[in-house]
Amino acid sequence: MIQVMIVEDDPMVREINSKFLKRVEGFVLYKAVSNLDEAKQYILENKPDLILLDVYLPKENGISLLKWIRGQELDIDIILITADKTMERIQEAFRYGVVDYLIKPFDFERFKEALLQFKGRYYKFKESELMEQKELDKLLSNSDIASSQTEDEFAKGVNKYTYKAIWDEIEKNSGKDFTAEELAEKLGIARVTVRRYLEYMEKENKVDKSVEYGKVGRPQHKYRKI
């Protein structure tokens, strides 16, 4: 399991990010702290693999923790979480080696995408002693995490990571009928988003849609993998 530390002063945001983390397979919350002194203490006691780091902290700046980690030469990866959209801050973060930059407010879908991309690289680096250029290029483009389809093969507005998450869940329940609402609840994705992807998959002839008429209320759309 990949150990994660959350550095966030807002208790509500800290709780939301902790719950988001629990929903992504392969990660475990090591510690959630509200200030940099506490973060440094726990980092030195038991170095986490990944830190979800807020920038705006009371009388503190998360970037200083990022610089401290680099100064200590600690092998810890950082995903920066902030409301700061300025190009200056974004460039500074990447210069100091963050692996992703999430701008508040963000949804679970984007959060999950960041973690899955990180997990793909994390285990690839652990498994490999040497890497050829083509393999490295594939890793840097994150194409090993999503399906083998390229961006050009997707319709405009269809995210390949969301597509894969939905399709993987459909394949788990192959041969069974399901609704968009059921998928949305399992994946933590908005129902309207799931419906849009199911419509796209229907056009690809990957799922079949039927209408079920109940005694009361509107008819319900049921889907099944073809």
Closest listed residue to residue 194, CA positions, set 217, 162, 219: 162
> What span, in angstroms and rounded, lies between the C-alpha atoms of 107 and 91?
23
Domain segments of the chain: what residues? 2-123, 151-225
Per-residue model confidence (pLDDT) at position 5: 97
At 220 the pLDDT is: 82
* Average pLDDT of adjacent 10-residue blocks, the chain of 226 residues: 94 93 93 94 93 90 92 94 88 91 89 90 81 75 45 59 85 87 85 88 90 71 91
pLDDT score of 154: 52
Count how many Cα atoms sit within 13 Å of the Cα of residue 191 in the half-sphere of its side chain: 7
Q: Does domain 151-225 have CATH number 3.40.50.80?
A: no
Question: Nearest-CA neighbor of 163 among 177, 150, 175, 182?
Answer: 150
Contact 21, 66 (CB under 8 A): no
CATH of 2-123, one of 3.40.640.10, 3.20.20.70, 3.40.50.2300, 3.40.190.10: 3.40.50.2300
pLDDT at residue number 8: 93
